[in-house]
């Protein structure tokens, strides 16, 4: 049986994503990281999963001063540089991409978008983890006639939340597909599926959602894997 190779960006909680993805015996996950210097592995993949983690350095969207202004101290510039190269290869080849949390943010930056450095400072609700370390949860409102809407088959849903940054201006070719009640963009996707068949970005963490059979968890994963199977 030939393997369906999915590239997964390395990060602190890589194993969570690997467990979430490993639901089919024909899947082979390739851990992509600057430590292993294995950018060449991207060309052998059928899809790319961009995972959560550190803040994207704001110099990549022309706001280097945000580091001091907002005291951003959880940054890995080597990871940024590597994953922007991963995105350049995957995007050029129109490879299916699923971005989660930081993955959503770096993909948006790659496409020319910008980020809110701290959503509470910018007048939005707190989306970070609760004091006891558990994810928050909140509602999202979905736009109709979007790929996410087709996956979820609903216009409202509940997702987990553990982030302090978010998309500000959307990158080129992206459109918002869902938003939290306080106006934070919680999901984005490619505007023209004929131009790019699958590019889905979400701010929540489907890999650790409860329940896992939610369309916002397993539904996303299954849609991503299905797109990877169709990739040529």
Per-residue model confidence as pLDDT tens digits over 64-106: 999 999 999 999 999 999 999 999 999 999 999 999 999 999 9
Does residue 139 have a pLDDT over 90?
yes
Does residue 222 have a pLDDT over 90?
yes
Q: What is the share, in percent, of the chain residues with pLDDT greater than 70?
A: 100
> In the prediction, which pLDDT does 201 show?
98
Identify whether 35 is a catalytic site residue.
no
User: Which residue of the set 57, 60, 101, 186 is catalytic?
Assistant: 101
Predicted TM-score of the model (pTM):
0.97
> In the prediction, which pLDDT does 24 show?
83
pLDDT digits (tens, 9 = 90+) for 14-29: 999 999 999 888 999 9
pLDDT digits (tens, 9 = 90+) for 157-205: 999 999 999 999 999 999 999 999 999 999 999 999 999 999 999 999 9
Range of the domain at 97: 4-230
> In the prediction, which pLDDT does 132 show?
86
Identify whether 57 is a catalytic site residue.
no
What backbone phi and psi angles, to 5 degrees, belong to 71?
Answer: 50, 55
Give the other-Cβ count within 10 Å of 221's Cβ: 19
Averaged pLDDT score across all residues of the chain: 96
Task: Report the number of distinct structural domains present in the chain.
Answer: 1
> In the prediction, which pLDDT does 162 show?
95
> In the prediction, which pLDDT does 1 show?
64
> In the prediction, which pLDDT does 189 show?
98
Does residue 46 have a pLDDT over 70?
yes
List the CATH number of the domain containing 133: 3.40.50.880
The stretch 125-132 carries a mean pLDDT of 91
Q: Are residues 49 and 98 in contact, defined by beta-carbon separation less than 8 angstroms? A: yes
Per-residue confidence band for 151, with pLDDT thresholds at 50, 70 and 90: very high
Per-residue confidence band for 131, with pLDDT thresholds at 50, 70 and 90: confident
Identify whether 178 is a catalytic site residue.
no
Does residue 122 have a pLDDT over 70?
yes
């Amino acid at each position: 049986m030939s393997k369906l190779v999915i590239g997964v960006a390395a990060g602190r909680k890589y194993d969570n994503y690997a467990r979430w993805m490993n639901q089919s015996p024909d899947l082979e996950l390739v851990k992509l990281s600057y430590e292993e210097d294995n950018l060449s592995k991207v060309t052998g993949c059928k899809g790319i999963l961009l995972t959560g983690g550190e803040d994207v350095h704001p110099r990549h969207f022309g706001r280097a001063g945000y580091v001091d202004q907002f005291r951003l101290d959880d940054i890995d510039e080597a990871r940024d540089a590597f994953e922007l190269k991963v995105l350049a290869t995957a995007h050029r080849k129109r490879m299916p991409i699923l971005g989660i949390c930081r993955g959503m943010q770096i993909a948006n930056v790659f496409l020319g978008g910008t980020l809110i450095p701290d959503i509470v400072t910018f007048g939005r609700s707190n989306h970070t983890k609760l004091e006891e370390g558990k994810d928050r949860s909140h509602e999202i409102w979905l736009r109709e006639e979007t790929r996410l809407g087709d996956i979820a088959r609903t216009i409202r849903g509940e997702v987990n939340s553990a982030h302090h940054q978010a998309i500000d201006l959307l990158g080129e070719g992206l459109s918002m597909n869902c938003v939290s009640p306080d106006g934070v963009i919680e999901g984005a996707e490619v505007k023209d599926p004929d131009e790019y068949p699958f590019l889905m970005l979400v701010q929540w963490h489907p890999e650790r959602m409860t329940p896992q059979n939610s369309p916002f968890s397993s539904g996303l994963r299954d849609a991503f894997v299905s797109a990877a199977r169709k990739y040529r």
